Amino acid sequence: MMHRRNYRKAFFGTLLTSALLAGCDGSSSNFDRFPDVIDNGGTLPQADISPAVLDSAASFLGAATGKEIPLTVDSVIFINSALGLNDVPNDPQNLFGDLWMVVRDAYGVPVLDANGCMQPIASETITLPDGTTTDTVPMVLDTLEEEPVCAVLEGYEQYTIELEIGRLNMVRTMTQNPTVFARALEEAIKNINASEAIKLDPAGRLILVSSDPVTGLPVESTIDSPRENLALYNALLKEGRIAGYGPEKHEGGQTIAPQWLEIRDDLDLGDLAYLRDGTPGRDHGVDLHEGYADLSQTVHDRQMDYATQLLSYIQYYDDGSACHYRDETGYAWEQVFGLEDYNGVNINGFMTHADDARRTIVFMHDVIQDMPEAPLQTLPTADGRFDLMHAAASFLGGASNKSVPLTIDGLVFINTVLGLNEGVDFTNKGEVFGDLWALERDLDGVPVLDENGCPQPLSVNGGFVPMVLDPDSGECVIVEGYEDDVIELELGRLNVVRVALTNPRVLDRALYDVMNSINASVGLKLDLSGRLAYGVDEGTGNVTYQTVDSPLAGLSLYWALMRWGKLEGTVEIMQDGTWTQVDLAIKPELEQQLTDEGLLFLMKGTAACQGNAAECGAKRLASGYVDYSAFTHTTETIYSGAMVDFVERQPDDLSCAYGDRTEDVWVRVLGSDGYSGSNIDAFVKQAEDTRNVIQFIHTVIQDPLPEAI
């Protein structure tokens, strides 16, 4: 993913940016506008929506967001459009394909150019053929279509900035299968109504209070499910309170209509009554401003919201004592935000409030303050245990979300998007722009078709979801009434692969940028998980290693290895206004270091590849799918003997609650996993091993193993 830059403030003034859902004014909306909202200018007078409602909505959105992806105005508008909260015409394909940063006003409404086209923000200043410069990507009006369509001027596609929304990509499932979303709302309201009281945690999430049935003592649980928090967010903006319809259900061959759900009347909410009752004098959620959810009543003052919020944390002390880690308490405004003030309104204030909630949640997940940065811990590779295909699997695993597992279905989808599966399209495999389904597959990952030639989606109830041939289109469709039984797949950060569908050169650019970083480095290593890390000379004699963590960069490395069998090949990028082919190669000065690290295959490929170009890159099955049949993986072989440093709780040590530990990765992190396998299952397992090691490293405080307590 391209890095977001500090764009020229003088040029943009007070303009904001957000996601371009493509086109200039789109076609017809596929998202039904909810009927109970009265737009600005409606005939019934309504009180302004309570800022408290918007505050909680922002907190719920922050709680639905992944830890590592900051929220932006861009992502807020994308989510609102996907949920139908924005009543703007969009091409659904673009909603699920590329998302670009565009110039917007203080309400989030796109600022159009003279042709009525949105203005994508450029990743760098563009010099046009006439010598003028611009900070927006030039657009043209294509009049060859039945209706004029806005498009990026040919040759400038690479300057658009794609939006990364991480875990919030789950909203795509809702647009394809609203029942999934309705179930999340039902679950959240059911749990709220089963509690005795509710309150808010420091990030604004709901804490449900009940009594232990044995001891009678209060028990607290936080609603931390991303999907439930997104459902609560949707309810507050749509209804103005936590209420809405549950899912349609099917029992005994009968269809049960969706039931209206809301917080029970006798639950004492105190100052949080607005969550049940909404805003006095108002019977709905947000209004619209030029088709976009009107968030102008939002006022976010960071100091006011967080200066009195107490947090528990762990402080590192390098004072010569035997115990470096001590439990402390402090105020969120200081500990999380460093006393950095913020006061904003409208959509920018709303977005900042939501991201502040995300940052607070991240802090509360076992963050140690002021801990010194440790040197890179590396995976043993010089003994030949780690080869090219293991590297490809690890680079893919490193690009994935810390908490979203990769599956065979997900890998096949990624390979198809990247063009690695030759001659394979998306027909009947779930919508490429919407849901992805888990399918019955053979040992090679190829879908097993039924007697009609249809794939067989796995059912949440066991077995398969029944499919039939549509008599009109001839395509395979789910038998009516079973649509909710499919198992949707989450790709997490790997959803960024979708941008390659409409802008395949984005991977060329990402790979070009990574290779520039590699060639500017003083060496390459693999971190403990298997991700690539390059050394940076700080000019003081110290070398620090930076891990390739960007999902788009990780995907580009995987893509390169699977295409070329090494990191050397030809890409096409924009240079001086024209598309230029560039030959990528690792600089010769790194050859000896790569040899010493056992990573020479990144430069030279396999021995077979060095003797025959036809042996480079991934092989294909007769079906066109990538052939992983020669790949084998044994978890112990890769990770045994690699040592990991970490901090562990010591609940039985009254003198020091936390201690430094060093243990074998295979034993401590992977639980002495005895996995040994082959083919696509083993490839996914290697990627998953990578993800699990990354997750361990990123969890700063480890709980002791049960037998250690």
Query: What are the CA-CA distances from residue 156 to residues 139, 160, 389, 497 (Å)?
Result: 9, 8, 34, 20
Q: What percent of the chain has pLDDT over 90?
A: 56
CA atoms within 13 A on the CB side of 391: 31
Flag whether 383 is in a domain: no
Flag whether 523 is in a domain: yes
Are 535 and 679 found together in one domain? yes
Mean pLDDT of 489-497: 78
Can you spell out the DSSP letters for 509-565?
HHHHHHHHHHHTSS-EEEBTTS-EEEEEE-SSS-EEEEE---HHHHHHHHHHHHHHS
Contact 23, 149 (CB under 8 A): yes
- Residue 243's contacts (CB-CB under 8 Å, 6 or more residues apart) are 189, 235, 260, 261, 262, 263, 276
Which among 163, 610, 88, 696 is positioned nearest to 377, based on CA atoms? Answer: 696
Paired tokens of 689: 């091993």
SS3 percent helix, strand, coil of the chain, rounded to 5, is 30, 25, 45
Position 384 confidence tier, pLDDT thresholds 50, 70, 90: confident
Position 501 confidence tier, pLDDT thresholds 50, 70, 90: confident
- The number of angstroms, rounded, from the C-alpha of 552 to the middle of its chain's C-alpha atoms is 11
- What's the residue count for the chain? 709
SS3 654: coil
CA atoms within 13 A on the CB side of 257: 1
Model confidence at 3: pLDDT above 60: no
H-type alpha helices, 585-678: 591-597, 601-604, 607-611, 635-639, 665-668
Which sign does the torsion angle of CA 359, 362, 364, 369 carry? negative
Model confidence at 60: pLDDT above 80: yes
Instruction: Name the packing angle between helices 226-239 and 178-193 (round to 10°).
Output: 90
Q: Using CA atoms of 673, 674, 677, 682 in order, give the dihedral in degrees to the nearest 10.
A: 0
Model confidence at 56: pLDDT above 80: yes
Average pLDDT along the chain: 85
Flag whether 46 is in a domain: no
Are 589 and 649 found together in one domain? yes
User: Of 23 and 516, which is predicted with more confidence?
Assistant: 516
Are 706 and 638 found together in one domain? yes
What is residue 516's predicted lDDT score, i.e. its pLDDT? 95
pLDDT per residue over 141-193, tens digit each? 877 667 778 888 887 877 888 777 777 777 766 666 678 889 999 999 999 99
Are 542 and 690 found together in one domain? yes
Which among 27, 20, 292 is positioned nearest to 136, based on CA atoms? Answer: 20
Which residue, of 134, 167, 200, is where some domain finishes? 167
Instruction: Name the packing angle between helices 73-82 and 346-364 (round to 10°).
Output: 100
Are 475 and 524 found together in one domain? no
What is residue 426's predicted lDDT score, i.e. its pLDDT? 61
Flag whether 293 is in a domain: no
Q: Which residues lie across from 663 on neighbouring strands?
A: 644
Query: What are the CA-CA distances from residue 403 to residues 399, 406, 551, 698 (Å)?
Result: 12, 10, 14, 11
Q: Using CA atoms of 35, 298, 77, 164 in order, give the dihedral in degrees to the nearest 10.
A: -140
Q: Which residues lie across from 569 on neighbouring strands?
A: 584
What is residue 69's predicted lDDT score, i.e. its pLDDT? 82
Are 592 and 514 found together in one domain? yes
Are 483 and 506 found together in one domain? no
- The number of angstroms, rounded, from the C-alpha of 175 to the middle of its chain's C-alpha atoms is 17
pLDDT per residue over 608-648, tens digit each? 888 888 889 999 999 999 999 999 999 999 999 999 999 99
Mean pLDDT of 236-251: 91
Which residue, of 167, 183, 211, is where some domain finishes? 167
Model confidence at 4: pLDDT above 90: no
What is residue 483's predicted lDDT score, i.e. its pLDDT? 78
Position 277 confidence tier, pLDDT thresholds 50, 70, 90: very high
Paired tokens of 2: 């391209």
Model confidence at 98: pLDDT above 70: no
What is residue 492's predicted lDDT score, i.e. its pLDDT? 75
What is residue 267's predicted lDDT score, i.e. its pLDDT? 95
Contact 346, 216 (CB under 8 A): no
DSSP 8-state assignment for residue 196: S
Are 479 and 602 found together in one domain? no
Which residue, of 446, 472, 490, is where some domain finishes? 490
Are 440 and 502 found together in one domain? no
Flag whether 644 is in a domain: yes
Q: Which residues lie across from 560 on neighbouring strands?
A: none
Which of 64-68, 80-84, 319-323 has the weakest average pLDDT? Answer: 64-68
Flag whether 146 is in a domain: yes
Flag whether 445 is in a domain: yes
Flag whether 120 is in a domain: yes
Are 440 and 465 found together in one domain? yes
Are 16 and 111 found together in one domain? yes
Q: Which residues lie across from 293 on neighbouring strands?
A: 288
Contact 679, 629 (CB under 8 A): yes
Which among 450, 489, 402 is positioned nearest to 68, based on CA atoms? Answer: 402
Is the pTM higher than 0.85? The answer reads no
Are 543 and 669 found together in one domain? yes
Query: How many domains are there within the chain?
Result: 3
Domain span at 142:
9-33+72-167
- Residue 462's contacts (CB-CB under 8 Å, 6 or more residues apart) are none
What is residue 89's predicted lDDT score, i.e. its pLDDT? 65
